[in-house]
Amino acid sequence: MTLTDIRPTVRRRIARLSSYTIALIIVVILAFIGDWPRMGRQFFNFEIMKKIFPSIVTIALRNTLIYTVIAFVIGTFFAIILALMKMSKGPAHWFAVGFIELFRGLPALLTIFGCAYMIPIAFNFHWPSIGGSQGVAAGLTGLILVTSAYNAEVIRSGIEAVPKGQREASRSLGMSHIETTVYVILPQGVRIVIPPLTNEFVMLLKDSALLFIAGATVKTRELTTFGRDGMTSNMNATPFVCAAILYLLVTIPLTYLVGRLEKKMAVKK
């Protein structure tokens, strides 16, 4: 019996089992070589956990989620416009191409840094203060620029995945270019695009960590800034570890959801 004779479901189960086994072996090795008392003090210090809870959840995680959702919603709105511009002809196309290439090509950290420090210097301009900090508006603007560029490409590919006959059928019924786009093309494109967009949301959630460079007040800190501040003020990595766990608590279920959505879409086709 060769490998291909095994049923796919069984094969998947074997693959999963072997990866679990490897992970377990690595954990056991780490457990033997690690300095546990020291790691416990430095990474899982209960006293420090008591200090940072609940504000790590009520302020930091909450801010991370709020910033991500705001940047995602506004960024996706602009992304739809950019995608339509890129698929048009003329100057709008070239503007969209330039915008998308610029902000996909730059590291997100640089974009946020540019929004926070370079734009104010260059244009003698002050970001509106939110929660006592200009860093929020600047950082969010940077995130929106980055997300809109990434999502524009995702949305464009989704729209282009809608069969050409759909537009022809709609136009032959007398619907205009805009009516066709709004009622026929976009609703189908959105369906195609939901799994990859959820993926982009997870990426954005992680990128929101870069907001630390824009600066924040106690009330406007997101998870990474909170963890870093907690680490320096306590000389202990526990706040960072807690932040990491909170990130995973959000991102892993979302990633799982993407997998489910993709499977569902595959069945529908």
Q: Which residues bind other proteins (CB under 8 A)?
A: 163, 165-166, 168-176, 179, 183-184, 187-188, 191, 268
Nearer to other proteins, 4 or 172 (CB): 172
Nearer to other proteins, 56 or 186 (CB): 186
Q: Work out how close the CB of 267 gets to other proteins at its nearest, in angstroms, rounded to a whole number.
A: 11
Amino acid identity for residue 225 in this structure: T
Give the C-alpha distances (Å, rounded to integers) separating 35 from 31, 41, 72.
Answer: 8, 10, 41
CB atoms within 10 A of CB 215: 17
Q: Burial, 243: exposed, middle or buried (Cβ in 10 Å; 0-12, 13-18, 19+)?
A: buried
C-beta of residue 251 within 8 angstroms of C-beta of residue 57: no
Nearer to other proteins, 13 or 263 (CB): 263
Nearer to other proteins, 14 or 173 (CB): 173
Q: Work out how close the CB of 199 gets to other proteins at its nearest, in angstroms, rounded to a whole number.
A: 22
Nearer to other proteins, 54 or 174 (CB): 174
Structure tokens at 95: 């503007």
Best CA proximity match to 144, nearest among 106, 103, 87, 98? 103
Q: Work out how close the CB of 159 gets to other proteins at its nearest, in angstroms, rounded to a whole number.
A: 14
Structure tokens at 82: 């950019």
Q: Work out how close the CB of 175 gets to other proteins at its nearest, in angstroms, rounded to a whole number.
A: 5
Q: Work out how close the CB of 170 gets to other proteins at its nearest, in angstroms, rounded to a whole number.
A: 8
Give the C-alpha distances (Å, rounded to integers) separating 150 from 21, 80, 258.
Answer: 37, 11, 17
